[in-house]
Structure 1
Amino acid sequence: AAQLGAARNWIAAASHWRHASALAEDDSSRSHGARELAARERARAAAKIAADDFDRAAADYDRMHDSLSLARALEGAAQAAALAANAEHAGPVAR
């Protein structure tokens, strides 16, 4: 549960950074001076890094979710097998 919570937080942070970088790019693109062009390039680079981080975080979250789902399915199968084994050992009266 803690890993899933951490992943959700990391994804949210990456998403917010992506949005903030996009806003910075929009603001810096309104001007055409050399300093503003450099700021736009930095914002574009930051946005790409944030987007890549977001994509990796989303993939990590999907893998963790798939692993958790598999673990739950295996746990359920193990419990069903244990109940079936107990029923076999108890004999026809318990059924």
Structure 2
Amino acid sequence: MDESQYNALIYTLISELAILQGPPGTGKTYMGLQIAKLLFDNWSIWNSDAKESRPMLVVCYTNHALDQFLEGISKFVPEGIIRVGGRCKNETVAQ
């Protein structure tokens, strides 16, 4: 993780709303997965006052980008993932 990615990570963790954007190959999927993993690893801290678990909404510009993200997140969140939309070409995500 380079300095700009680290700064983006910190910003997303301290902000109410953060948007990651950039040209292809700049690490958007990688950063999104790092943020999601941190949130899931620390779920008990940010979800301690809720009676039910809080959902995480992920929005991607393309179906392919969404499939890549969901394939990555499925490695540390094995269940409870719901993909809305069509044209899923990734067999791991389709299951």
TM-score by length of 1: 0.29
Greater relative contact order (CA < 8 Å, ≥ 6 in sequence): 1
Higher helix share: 1
TM-score by length of 2: 0.29
